[in-house]
Structure 1
Amino acid sequence: MKKINNGSSAPPRLDIQQSWWAMNGIGNGVREWITEEKVEKIAEAGFTGINGFLPPQEKQEEWHNLLEKYQLSFSICAYPWNREELSTLLKQAQDFGVQHVNSQVMDSFVIGEEAVQLLKELTEEAERFGTTHFVETHRGRITQDLLRTVDYVKAIPNLSLTIDFSHYVVSGEMVGDIFRAEPFFNELLQRCGCIHGRVSNGEQVQVDIGPNGEHPMLNRFKGWWKQGMENWLMDAKVGDIFPFVCELGPPGYAITKNSYSKGNMEEISDRWEQSLLLKRIAEEQWAECVQGLAE
């Protein structure tokens, strides 16, 4: 499984990235922060990277300057339907200098051998460019179904995943009988190259986990995140980097106090504070993994 490597002699490290999508609407309570304010706040909070989208050509110099100024890594999301689409994006990503490409592969109606062939082609294309490429476990995409995705992983030995089990928990309404999914989750966690951090309760894809992580589903997710990190660390080498993206979306991912029809989009959570909590949790899980391997 291909890992991100910066060519240094540093020990394998965690790269905590903040989702740029998660910064939609975030500000000081009076107005939304502008681009540089958001980047500055991300860096000040101790994040080491941003996960976003490839900037349009006219914005690329600005983004290069901001990433250099605040010393942040940068990864991007993609939504390829075929090899040609990914190839075009990979060339643009390579020119920009992104850390990795995270693909939500389209779409959920592509199944069986057709899905395996497409995933093989995308993996081959990323290898041709020398770009680290992860396929995300996501609803409404080729990886929508947990059991089918396990089959894809078995069929493609070099397929690397971004793990986001919030999608499987909510789509399968997994709560009381979640133990039945564990063997399949374990199969996917063997290919974990990146994690997108979000907690689902089996009914909503994104829940408030409380100011100190009191939500009962958090321990489940912490266990999966830690297992993915441990699996990744088992054969990690110097210079290798493991990205954990805090990915709390705006409404309608975020639950609001009133309905859309009433025109009130006030969220039940402080999304920025929840992102900081996810960051702290990921750092704690990573530290436990590293300590465990050292003992």
Structure 2
Amino acid sequence: MKPVLRHIANLWTLMGHPSQQDEWSLGKKIAEIKAAGFDGVCWAPSAELHEECLRQELIFVGGMASGDARAFPDILEDLKRFGAQHVNVQLAHDSLASEEALRLTLMLMDLARPLGLLPAIETHRGTCTETPEKMYALADAYERETGELLPLSCDFSHFAVVKHLVPSNFVEQLLIRPNLIQNAQQFHLRPFNGHHVQVPVTDGSGQLTQEVCAWLPFAEATLSCWLDGNRDKGREIFVCPELGPVEGGYALSTFPNSWEEAKVLRGEIDRIWRRLLQG
């Protein structure tokens, strides 16, 4: 069975869209996500979002950000109640000790399993996986403890900035653990370079920027690596063109509109995927 790519939009991308004064309603945003060819949406759970996803027949990838173990049961119950299976987890904070990160991860997974939820720990700034060293330490400890690979939600942009990488060594420095990448199902493919966690996709006239053209080979290498371990397994991969607006602190005021950019990026990722499937 061939694997399937699910294009996932993040509601964050549509923050303040099309303007702060005339922001679309949630229903309008979800309808536009569907119309743009996305298969699902990622955000925190809510009854209204659940209803809109059902109406538009969109997958809901849940999101949570917490390091409070006491809050885990209620958060997970909400995610289950409002339609999530896969969950993107921003876990705790960047000063958390590795031992505590492992304890929280094990607890989260144990609580999620009976609910049928599939949490994935995002590689993200300001969390216990802020750096490659912290992430690999957690992954290795988790594997020693459970005999299983740690489910990750891969956002390589943060690591690229931490290490001040250049496009020529993105693959060499970021795809060093193929087993973890092939085990993952969630990927945040936001274009980046070694100093900017987000670069513009287009130049405002519809042409791809030099920066995104330098990044696209890495996106292709990432998807190719994943396919090397999943080509005949029929698994799903959930890919989010994770572009943030100016209000979120990722885009700059001179960047084109984040939602319009996300739609262009979705098309580029889809073309890469289709080409790889044929190879």
Structure 1 partner of 2:27: 36
Alignment of 1:241 onto 2:228: no
| 2:279 equivalent to 1:288 | no
Contact 1:161-1:192 at 8 Å conserved across structures:
yes
Q: Whole-Å Cα distance in 1 between the matches of residues 23 and 229 of structure 2?
A: 37
2:114 alignment partner AA:
R
C-alpha distance 226-278 of structure 1, shift in aligned 2 (>3 A): same
| Cα distance change on mapping 1:20 and 1:11 into 2, 3 Å | same
TM-score by length of 1: 0.81
CA deviations 1:130-154 (Å, max 9, x no partner) are 2111110001101011022122222
1:45 pairs with 2:45: no
Please tell me whether the aligned partners of residues 50 and 83 of structure 2 are also in contact (alpha carbons under 8 angstroms).
no
Q: CA offsets per residue over residues 18-48 of structure 1, 9 Å max, x none?
A: 1001111222898322222211111111111
- Corresponding letter in the other structure for 1:184: I
Change in 2 beyond 3 A, CA 1:228/1:89:
farther
Residue type at the aligned position of 1:139 = R
Match of 2:187 in 1: 195
1: CA distance between counterparts of 2:175 and 2:26? 42
- Per-residue deviation, 1:224: 4.3
1:234 deviates by 4.1
The amino acid that maps onto 2:272 is Q
Counterpart Cα distance in 1 of 2:156 and 2:112: 24
Question: In structure 2, what is the Cα distance between the partners aligned to 1:246 and 1:183?
Answer: 19
2:70 pairs with 1:98: no
State the TM-score, normalizing by the size of structure 2. 0.85
Within 5 Å, give how 1:270-281 maps onto structure 2.
270-281=257-268
Greater displacement, 219-228 / 245-254: 219-228
Q: Relative contact order (C-alpha < 8 Å, sep 6+): which is higher?
A: 1
Specify the alignment match of 1:262 in structure 2: none
- 1:250 equivalent to 2:245? Answer yes
Cα 1:130–1:232, aligned 2, differ >3 Å: closer, same or farther? farther
Count of residue correspondences: 266
Q: 1:84 to 1:221 in 2, by over 3 A?
A: farther
What amino acid sits opposite 2:51 in the alignment?
N
Identify the residue that residue 25 of structure 1 maps to in structure 2.
16
Q: Which residue in 2 is equivalent to 1:148? A: 134
Q: Which amino acid aligns with 2:257?
A: D
| Alignment partner of 1:77 out of 24, 47, 63 | 63
Shift of 1:69: 2.2
Unaligned ranges ≥5, structure 2: 143-147
Q: What per-residue deviation string (whole Å, max 9, x for no partner) do you get for residues 229-256 of structure 1?
A: 315624633xx42211121111221111
Q: 2:65 aligned with 1:68, yes or no?
A: no
For residue 205 of structure 1, what is the aligned residue in structure 2?
197
Which of 83, 93, 96 aligns to 1:110? It is 96
**Identical counterparts, % of pairs:** 26
In structure 1, runs of 5+ residues without a counterpart are 1-9, 258-267
Instruction: Give a deviation string over 1:161-217, Cα, whole Å, max 9, x none.
Output: 111001111122112655652453545423322111211111121110333354243
Which deviates further from its counterpart, 228-237 or 167-176? Answer: 228-237
Give secondary structure in 1 for the equivalent of 2:267. Answer: helix
Aligned to 2:198, the other structure's residue is in SS state coil
Q: What is the aligned-residue RMSD (CA, Å)?
A: 2.5
Deviates more, 1:38-47 or 1:172-181: 172-181
Give the conservation status (yes or no) of the 8 Å contact 1:170–1:203.
yes
Alpha-carbon separation, structure 2, partners of 1:123 and 1:289: 32
Measure the CA separation in 2 of the matches of 1:206 and 1:149: 21
